[in-house]
Amino acid sequence: MIKRIVVLTGAGISAESGIQTFRAADGLWENHRVEDVATPEGFDANPELVQSFYNQRRRGLLSAAVQPNAAHIALAELEQNFHGELLLVTQNIDDLHKRAGSRRLIHMHGELLKMRCISSQQVFEILEDITPELRCPCCGLRNMLRPHVVWFGEMPLAMDDIYTALARCDVFVAVGTSGQVYPAAGFVEVANEAGARTIEVNLDDSARTSAFAEQRRGLASRELPALCR
């Protein structure tokens, strides 16, 4: 009897919604090197570049063309219908899981539609560009706001809750992730140690494929609804 499922998603689950994956761009995001736009050092060195990188991605996410796809919907329906506990952990910073209806959801790398005061660490929703003129809602000052996302070298969010769920899960499913970014890429080890059934749903092999007991190769929008039935 399956009581507890943990699902980890990566950029591949949002690819069919029109959001560029990290790998497809050969490690470049919108023509920028990761180190220049997804690290605290990059932000310190060139805040305008980093803000514009995220402003561009936020505008893209908010365009009407970007909608949850059948894979996001299958996970939201699974949460509704599953008799046990389902925890969805996403590496993605888009809001497509939430828009599809998932509620037991952890954004371990933060969220594109949130910003944070670099002084108080308070988090606020943001649906527009973060500009130097934008005053911080908590301290009223300018140039105090950064995207609420986890950059390389920064600690991902809710790691204790994630490890607790992994250590007791019966099934662990990874969807649309190349398994190259840690600590997310190491979650399958924790699930294996817990004796869980491990399944990788991906377009092609990932860096962690050999650690999964089962592989489902194909588009997440096809493989996931079939798996969740």
**23 touches ligand BV8 by CB under 6 A:** yes
Concerning whether 107 is annotated as a catalytic residue, the answer is no
For residue 183, is the peptide bond before it cis, meaning its omega torsion is within 30 degrees of 0? yes
Please give the distance of CA 228 from its chain centroid, rounded to a whole number.
20
From 72, 97, 109, 148, active-site residue = 109
Which residues, in sequence order, are CB contacts of 82 under 8 Å at separation 6+?
5
**8 touches ligand BV8 by CB under 6 A:** no
Number of residues that bind ligand BV8 (CB under 6 A): 34
Q: Which stretch binds ligand BV8 (CB under 6 A): 78-86, 115-123, 164-172, 174-182?
A: 174-182
Residue type, 50: V
Q: How far apart are CA 104 and CA 99, in angstroms?
A: 13
Size of the chain in residues: 229
Bridge-partner residues for 116, per DSSP? Answer: 123, 146
| Binding residue ranges for Zn(2+) | 117, 136
- Which residues are tagged catalytic? 109
| Binding residue ranges | 10-29, 54, 57, 91-94, 117, 136, 176-178, 202-204, 220
Residues that bind ligand BV8 (CB under 6 A): 10-12, 15-16, 21-23, 38, 91, 93, 109, 149-156, 176-178, 180-184, 202-204, 206, 219-220
